[in-house]
Amino acid sequence: MAALTPADLRAAAFRTLTPQPSLQAALNEMGFLQADPIRAPARAQDLTLLARVRGYQAGELERRYAELDVEEDMIPNYGFVPRAVQALLHPREVPPGRVELEHPDLLGEVRAQLNANAELHPRELAARLGQGRTVNAWGGQSSATTRILGALHYRGEARVTRRVGGVRVYGPAPHLAAWRAAPLPQEERLRRTVHLLAALYGPLPEASLRYLVSLSGFGLPHLRGELKAAFRVALREELAGARVDGVPYVWAADRSPADSPAPRGVRIVGPFDPLVWDRRRFEHLHGWPYRFEAYTPAPRRTMGYYALPVFQAGRAVGWANLKVNGGELEAEFGFVPGLRHTAALNKGLEAELERYRAFLGAT
């Protein structure tokens, strides 16, 4: 087989944008969908689904959540997973957190309310139990009852039943209780977790996949060491790989980069999309560093608050900042130096903006 090139890897990475026949099919194919609350112009999970589901509308995942096979959970970050993937994460053994130690009586009351109700909105729960307050991890103030609900969710004692205006509503989780009673074999859980990450984000530099595995330790906190060991075994025996420009890359064995079709057209994707998630790979394959600057002070931003990478024929050629103002979609673009602005590029950008208008309900 001929030596792989960066172009081969770009084409292989671009396969993650293959259109899926339905929203559920997209969730199943990905296995994990990262979430983020910022809307600029839409939440990260909606931008990622727009790139894979034809006709997808902003907020559709939230509206249809109850009818889908999907749960909110963490692997490797917070997001959405089908239940078959959630089964890899539970039982999750977690020591008591700060809010549980500070409010032991409240913990019991919240647990009782959770088990006695089909759904619990945090505001309703706080009204029932009182407004105990505690400092959250970001230094602000949040309701102790809400934080306890979050802790029970992380433990696997609760599930998110739906969202109301972006706020999580919780309920009992009998399927998680069943997994606590009869979990999958530990070796299977660890092996499938590593392979899920390699399939979703690959082909990846070996160092980046190792980092993803370490992040996934937050989804399997009591098995972090075992998960790293499973990664080392997979690297030796199960995953495929090669050096490209001296960089060791790895990928799922059934997803060889060699047979990937050449990407075509123009695409604008979100900053948390698997296509651009790994900045190490992005810079190696595209020749420039993409930066997510939402948390960078405005005077120091070089690309904008929420820059969306722009691709032409599979290569990142710039970025877009999009916002809806008065029902109209406004777009500002930045491009890499020396880019030739062809008619094909301009036509592709306008087609993408039209797709975003339909997605956002903008004129």
Do 126 and 146 form a contact (C-beta atoms < 8 A)? yes
Structural domains of the chain, ranges and CATH numbers in brackets: 98-181 (1.10.10), 262-360 (no CATH)
> Tokens 């433990």 correspond to what residue?
155
Count of C-beta atoms within a 10 Å radius of residue 35: 17
Do 362 and 324 form a contact (C-beta atoms < 8 A)? yes
| Residues contacting 123, CB < 8 A, separation 6+ | 167
> Tokens 């984000």 correspond to what residue?
201
What's the angle, vertex CA 250, arms to CA 268 and CA 288, rounded to 5? 40
> Tokens 């053994």 correspond to what residue?
93
pTM: 0.93
At 135 the pLDDT is 47
Which residue, among 259, 287, 288, 290, has the nearest Cα to 277 in the 3D structure? 290
Q: How many CA atoms lie within 13 A of 269 on its CB side?
A: 26
At 2 the pLDDT is 66
Please state, in angstroms and rounded to a whole number, the distance separating the CA atoms of residues 97 and 137.
11
Rg over CA atoms, the chain? 22
At 105 the pLDDT is 87
Measured on CA atoms in the order 99, 101, 103, 108, is the torsion positive or negative? positive
Please state, in angstroms and rounded to a whole number, the distance separating the CA atoms of residues 262 and 158.
44
At 1 the pLDDT is 53
DSSP alpha helix (H) spans, the chain: 6-14, 23-30, 44-50, 60-64, 83-86, 98-102, 104-116, 122-129, 144-155, 174-181, 186-201, 206-215, 224-237, 279-286, 343-360
> Tokens 């599930």 correspond to what residue?
159
Which residue, among 278, 271, 281, has the nearest Cα to 303 in the 3D structure? 271
Do 233 and 269 form a contact (C-beta atoms < 8 A)? no
Both structure tokens of 151: 């802790």
Do 304 and 312 form a contact (C-beta atoms < 8 A)? no
State pLDDT tens for residues 52-111. Answer: 999 999 999 999 999 999 999 999 999 999 999 999 999 999 999 888 888 888 899 999
pLDDT tens string, the chain, 363 residues long: the values are 568 999 999 999 999 999 999 999 999 999 999 999 999 999 999 999 999 999 999 999 999 999 999 999 999 999 999 999 999 999 999 999 888 888 888 899 999 999 999 999 999 888 888 644 454 443 333 588 899 999 999 999 999 999 998 899 999 999 999 999 999 999 999 999 999 999 999 999 999 999 999 999 999 999 999 999 999 999 999 999 999 999 999 999 999 998 899 999 999 999 999 999 999 999 999 999 999 999 999 999 999 999 999 999 999 999 999 999 999 999 999 999 999 999 999 999 999 999 999 999 987
| Residues contacting 311, CB < 8 A, separation 6+ | 14, 263, 266, 267, 268, 269, 275, 317
Please state, in angstroms and rounded to a whole number, the distance separating the CA atoms of residues 316 and 309.
7
Q: Burial, 341: exposed, middle or buried (Cβ in 10 Å; 0-12, 13-18, 19+)?
A: exposed
> Would you list the DSSP string of 140-166?
SEEEHHHHHHHHHHHHTSEEEEEEETT
Give the helix/strand (H/E) hosting 312: strand 308-312
